[in-house]
Amino acid sequence: MTIDPETAAASLQDIADTERRARESVFYSVVSSILILWGVLVASIQTILYLMPRLDRSSWLFIASWCAFYAIGLGGTYAILRVRSRPRALSPLAWRLLGAMVILIAYGVLWTALLGPAGARWFSVFWPTLFMFGFVLAGLWVGQFFVACGLIVTALVVAGYLWLEPWYPLWLAVVEGGTLIVSGLWLRRIGMSR
126 occurs within a structural domain = yes
| Angle subtended at Cα 182 by Cα 175 and Cα 141, rounded to the nearest 5 degrees | 95
Predicted pLDDT at 39: 92
Give pLDDT tens digits for 122-155.
777 888 888 888 888 888 877 788 888 889 999 9
Q: Would you say residue 4 lies in a domain? A: no
Q: Is 91 helix (H, G, I), strand (E, B) or coil?
A: coil
Rounded Cα distance, 183 and 42, in Å: 14
In-domain check, residue 5 = no
Does any domain span residue 8? no
Q: Residue 181: what pLDDT?
A: 92
- Could you tell me if residue 6 is inside a domain? no
What pLDDT score does 9 carry?
72
Q: Considering the domain boundaries, does residue 160 fall inside one? A: yes
Residue 88 is assigned to a structural domain of this protein: yes
Low-confidence ranges of the chain (pLDDT < 50): none
Which pLDDT score is estimated for 86? Answer: 62
How many domains is the chain partitioned into structurally? 1
Is 153 a domain residue? yes
| pLDDT recorded at residue 58 | 59
Q: In the prediction, which pLDDT does 159 show? A: 92
Q: In whole angstroms, what is the distance from residue 51 CA to residue 45 CA?
A: 10
Torsion of CA 74, 88, 182, 72, to 10 degrees: -20
Query: What pLDDT does 149 receive?
Result: 86
The DSSP output letter for 175 is: I
Domain containing residue 17: 13-192
Give the whole-angstrom CA distance, residue 100 versus residue 52.
32
